[in-house]
Structure 1
Amino acid sequence: MILIFSINNDYSTSAVISWLIRLNKPFIRINEDTLVELLWLNALDFAIMVNGETVLGSQITKLWYRRGGLDLFAKFKNDLIKNYLRTEHTALIEYFYHRLDKIPSVNKFRNSDINKLYLMDLCQQCGILAPQYLVTGCKKELTNFFEQHKHIISKPISTPFSLQDDEGFSHMAYTSMVNREDIDALPEQFVPTFFQCAISKAYEIRAFYLNGKFYAMAIFSQNNSNTSVDFRNYDREKPNRVAPFTFEKTYELKLKKMFDAYGLNCASFDVIYAGDDAKYYFLDLNPVGQFGMVSAPCNYNLEKEIAMAL
């Protein structure tokens, strides 16, 4: 049986499940609001109840961590000892995820959230070129970085900022250019922020990695003012031209070395091919990132590939 962790309304999960059904592979999907009860756990096995169905750990042959998580104490609420319950739940859930991570899987709980700064270290260790960066909350240091590179951007260190206002509009923090006026408007001290040298791109590459294979797509986003800095700021009236893309084998070997070092067998990642020096610059990696935008335009059928891997 395949155990899937996801969230409500995740289209990619549903698309993979459609293939699991075609392939006659039994599965159980757990969303963030699915009621899961831990029945018992010992050194040899465990049992959970999911929507009234009992599942033994020994019955789970593959696991796909797409997104989401578990709350094994959901039905236990007590204001008097809530802090104690939170501590107990943290200890239990950390170990339970550890047990789940021992099951053969596509993605794992422990490395589902990438640390951008650690990722930059890994790039350096594996000989993968990445734009120079600076983390600072000091206006003077940022000014020096700007004077050195002239063109810089800012982006979140972790996951992109996103919120929904009272009128239902979504607001997201995309990668943004930082100019002299932006820096002048800052106070002398501010929240430590991630800044990076802006690379002049010939095109961007969004790629998906699964069990040693790469599925890449070139995105010609540089000629559109909406998408020239961050292609996620889509222009639906004038979409970017895209095309299947293949990395050189030497570059794939470097990437695989980095994925292995982080313990990843599946991820979406972004690369820039620079117009100035004709080199690849590694930008971001998301173990649970979207892959549909690569799958359909390039006819990769990644939903089937994931189902086959489970």
Structure 2
Amino acid sequence: MTVLIITHSQDNESIPLVINAIQAQGRKAFRFNTDQFPTEVQLDIYYSKGCKQNILTVDKQKLDLSEISAVWYRRIAIGSRIPRVMDSQLRQASIQESRVTIQGMITSIKGFHLDPLPNIRLAENKQLQLQVAQELGLDTPRTLTTNNPEAVKQFAQECEQGMIVKMLSSFAIYDDKGQEQVVFTNLVKDEDLENLEGLRLCPMTFQEKLSKTLELRTTIVGQRVFTAAVNSQRNQKAQYDWRRQGLALLNAWEFYNLPEDVEKKLLQLMSYFGLNYGAIDIILTPDGRHVFLEVNPVGEFFWLECCPGLPISQAIAEVLLTS
């Protein structure tokens, strides 16, 4: 039987790490780069009375979908190579039809899914995440999502240490050269409170600013919990969002033992959303609080394999091969 890995051609080291772990167990992995469909990858889905045949062809290698034992839904970029010189309406129609085709293919696969797409989409709702986390007894930051400038000013008075602002979505804009500009978490300054009219065009999420001893990244795979910590406060540019200095902090991550009660509640959170995989961000405050920020159901993990050496890819392979 074969593990199908759904991703795109520009994905990072996570893919070969998991493929190697699968092959080390004597099993097969088949990589499907969704950005190559429909321009380079072929899919034949055939149904007739008493007969069906679903074949995926990549670089002349054919995979019968009935042979798939497990699916790892990692990344998706369906139709991105459809020529942009096409009429915009026709191109959008082609992308939409391609998406529906592949999503139907994924749903029809009877093997184990890490994780089912509906579960991922539900878990991506960060407002629901905070609600469930609170109900489970996890410590969460005071949070306001709004398009109301007056509500922000009132909220600012509640945040004694100040407040930060961030997006609920993975928001990015692109410059004239096509370079991605990610919107990171930022500190809200006093002068910003007098310039909030943009909220009427785009709501934003505000949270109380918390003092940080460490920032934690907890990766859950099945019932296994892996946690690493970094002191982001040593780097001035990373104080509000360690991702700004991700490369500079690459070798600064260390093993961290998360308290048992926090691990238990995080596993309950995963169970609520029906997830087998999640990357969770937590703040450790100077007074010892473990404050839950969010869970990313398809979050990155590859850098933690190098430092501090968490065997996450092996754990993913084991779940895919044994579930």
TM-score, normalised with respect to structure 2:
0.83
The answer to whether the Cα contact below 8 Å between 1:157 and 1:193 also exists between their aligned partners in 2 is: yes
Q: In the alignment, what sits opposite 1:176?
A: 186
- Measure, in 1, the Cα distance between the counterparts of 2:228 and 2:88: 54
Shift of 1:291: 0.6
The letter of the residue matching 1:107 is D
Q: In the alignment, what sits opposite 2:315?
A: 305
Q: Percent identity?
A: 24
Shift of 1:192: 1.2
Is 2:107 aligned against 1:98? Answer: yes
- Measure, in 1, the Cα distance between the counterparts of 2:51 and 2:266: 36
1:78-125 deviation line (CA, Å, top 9, x unaligned): 97994876776565444333223x421333333334121121122122
The letter of the residue matching 2:308 is C
Higher helix share: 2
- Measure, in 2, the Cα distance between the counterparts of 1:209 and 1:173: 26
1:117-169 deviation line (CA, Å, top 9, x unaligned): 12112212222121121111121111001111141111111113253541x65
Is 2:210 aligned against 1:199? Answer: yes
The answer to whether the Cα contact below 8 Å between 2:56 and 2:65 also exists between their aligned partners in 1 is: no
Is 2:279 aligned against 1:254? Answer: no
Q: In the alignment, what sits opposite 1:281?
A: 291
- Measure, in 2, the Cα distance between the counterparts of 1:99 and 1:290: 26
Q: In the alignment, what sits opposite 1:23?
A: 25
3-state DSSP class of the match of 2:144? strand
Q: In the alignment, what sits opposite 2:141?
A: 131
- Measure, in 2, the Cα distance between the counterparts of 1:239 and 1:67: 23
Is 2:259 aligned against 1:232? Answer: no
3-state DSSP class of the match of 1:298? coil
Alignment of 1:7-18 (within 5 A): 7-9=8-10, 10-18=12-20
The answer to whether the Cα contact below 8 Å between 1:176 and 1:230 also exists between their aligned partners in 2 is: yes
- Measure, in 2, the Cα distance between the counterparts of 1:209 and 1:235: 21
Q: In the alignment, what sits opposite 2:69?
A: 61
The answer to whether the Cα contact below 8 Å between 2:34 and 2:78 also exists between their aligned partners in 1 is: yes
CA separation of 1:220/1:81 partners in 2, compared to 1, >3 Å: closer, same or farther? closer
Q: After TM superposition, which residue ranges in structure 1, 4 or more long, deviate above 4 angstroms?
A: 41-46, 78-94, 235-240
3-state DSSP class of the match of 2:253? strand
**CA RMSD of the aligned region, Å?**
3.1
- Measure, in 1, the Cα distance between the counterparts of 2:7 and 2:230: 28
Q: In the alignment, what sits opposite 1:111?
A: 119
Structure 2 unaligned residues grouped into runs of 5+: none
Q: In the alignment, what sits opposite 2:42?
A: 37
3-state DSSP class of the match of 2:158? helix
Is 2:251 aligned against 1:243? Answer: no
- Measure, in 2, the Cα distance between the counterparts of 1:189 and 1:244: 40
Shift of 1:260: 0.9
Shift of 1:256: 0.7
- Measure, in 1, the Cα distance between the counterparts of 2:185 and 2:89: 43
- Measure, in 2, the Cα distance between the counterparts of 1:232 and 1:189: 25
Shift of 1:53: 3.3
CA separation of 1:60/1:244 partners in 2, compared to 1, >3 Å: closer, same or farther? same
- Measure, in 2, the Cα distance between the counterparts of 1:233 and 1:139: 27
1:212-269 deviation line (CA, Å, top 9, x unaligned): 1111011111232111111111175677743201212221111111101111101111
Q: In the alignment, what sits opposite 2:281?
A: 270
3-state DSSP class of the match of 2:171? coil
CA separation of 1:26/1:247 partners in 2, compared to 1, >3 Å: closer, same or farther? same
Structure 1 unaligned residues grouped into runs of 5+: none
3-state DSSP class of the match of 1:14? helix
The answer to whether the Cα contact below 8 Å between 2:221 and 2:276 also exists between their aligned partners in 1 is: yes
The letter of the residue matching 2:298 is V
Larger displacement relative to structure 2 (157-166 or 10-19)? 157-166
CA separation of 1:37/1:107 partners in 2, compared to 1, >3 Å: closer, same or farther? same
